[in-house]
Chain A
């Protein structure tokens, strides 16, 4: 069974630029999560999808972050415009039976 795929693995941008991350969950997993992991901290949930609907986006900075999962499979997370404090690893996870399986993450550096 293939795992959760994410791309790109690394991204360097300047502040005020925009960036997008892509996640392909494990086949058949209805629930998809995006986490932000700042260096030295644990992952923090940004948004949770159930199929193509948002379940929880209470911690998503909606003025600059957006996410979608249009067909209930792949998902994209966008930041526009980026700030220095957005430098982090962005993790995607998916679940079928409640247990979350994580992708390798995208490391974003904002300069």
Chain B
């Protein structure tokens, strides 16, 4: 069985500050890992994904995440927050070889202040 834990349901940063959203996973097999963003009243948009290969993954809008097997983590970062980054962010895991059967975390709401 797979599971995802997102530490911190709400994160607030100042515009221009580092964004760090934490995600830890549990999986009995090598996982595929995903970060999705959800803006108000919209569906989920894929930010980035890790399948195999390079452990540092770059996504859209300047976000990146690093897969750390030893720490079972896949934290999302962005060097400089922008007001438009305010949204809900979801980490998800699926079994190797498929992006089906996604298991989502409970989400982290990112607030960006002036």
Contact = CB atoms under 8 A, between A and B. Distances in A.
Interface of A: 4, 9, 31, 40-45, 48, 55-56, 91, 93, 95, 98-105, 107
A44 B46 contact: no
A31 B49 contact: no
Contact of A44 (B45, B98, B104, B107): B104
A26 to B, nearest CB: 12
A43 B104 CA distance: 6
Contact of A48 (B44, B92, B100, B105): B100
Given A41-B107, A42-B106, A91 B43 contact: yes
Contact of A98 (B36, B41, B100): B100
Interface of B: 4, 9, 36, 41-46, 49, 90, 92, 98-102, 104-107
Contacts of B45: 102
Contacts of B43: 4, 91, 93, 102-105
A46 to B, nearest CB: 12
B92 A42 contact: yes
B44 A91 contact: yes
A45 B102 CA distance: 8
Nearest to A97: B99
A104 B42 contact: yes
Contacts of B104: 42-44
B27 to A, nearest CB: 16
Contact of B49 (A42, A48, A99): A99
A45 B42 CA distance: 18
B98 to A, nearest CB: 6
B106 A102 contact: no
A40 B100 CA distance: 23
Contacts of B98: 98
